[in-house]
Amino acid sequence: MHVLLTAGPTYEPLDPVRFLGNRSTGKMGYALAEAFAAQGAEVTLVSGPSQLPDPASPRVRTVRVETAAEMFAAAAAVAPGADVWVFAAAVADYRPAQVAVEKIKKSGDTMTLELVKNVDIAATLGQSKRPEQFAVGFALETTNELAHAQGKLHRKKFDLIVLNSLRDAGAGFGHDTNKVTVLDAAGQIVNFELQSKADVARGLVRLILARLPISTP
């Protein structure tokens, strides 16, 4: 079984010094890569900028990227041959319309940035998803969490979506623990209480493998 897994943030350059990014560390995605590998899967981990070392398992091939465009290109190259897609990366929705060649110097009391939309990696790849392929998305929400996650699940043709809420202490970016809720298209919900991200990853992998329309390792 081959798993495509995205993880970490993306950085969208503004000039040679600055970028637009987010607080994702990649910990959840990297834990998932290790958990899938432990179950015998071959994993392609497409990682945005992260301080984490490459997973130690020889079953995990790590592809390092920086921007959303680079992550899309790397994922699109692997997606057709992958049995499972897991989109755990926190991809920037927008990027600067212009990237300055030199450092932008301070001038005036305000500065206006023009941003343009990045490709939606999961939604775009979902358009070519085959029935036997299984797609899992992640959603980090701050309001109307379940409604937003369910909307994303249907729009992007996910089979499962993993919901994080910043309302939950010890969950989300930067923590070694996580607390998630998993939803499917039929409205079924599975709750994972606060535990280490490694334990959450193992639980998620077991849940995904049990749902696969293909034989598991």
Cα 44 vs. chain centroid, distance in angstroms? 13
DSSP character string of 11-47: -EESSSS-EE--S--SHHHHHHHHHHHHTT-EEEEEE
164 is annotated as an active-site residue: no
Q: Which H or E element spans position 121?
A: helix 121-126
* Closest to 40 measured CA to CA, from 12, 1, 88, 7: 1
d(C-alpha 217, C-alpha 210), whole Å: 11
d(C-alpha 24, C-alpha 10), whole Å: 9
CA angle 76, 78, 79 (to 5 degrees): 65
d(C-alpha 194, C-alpha 170), whole Å: 7
CB 120 within 8 A of CB 90: no
Q: Which of 22, 118, 178, 191 is catalytic?
A: 22
The set of catalytic residues is 22
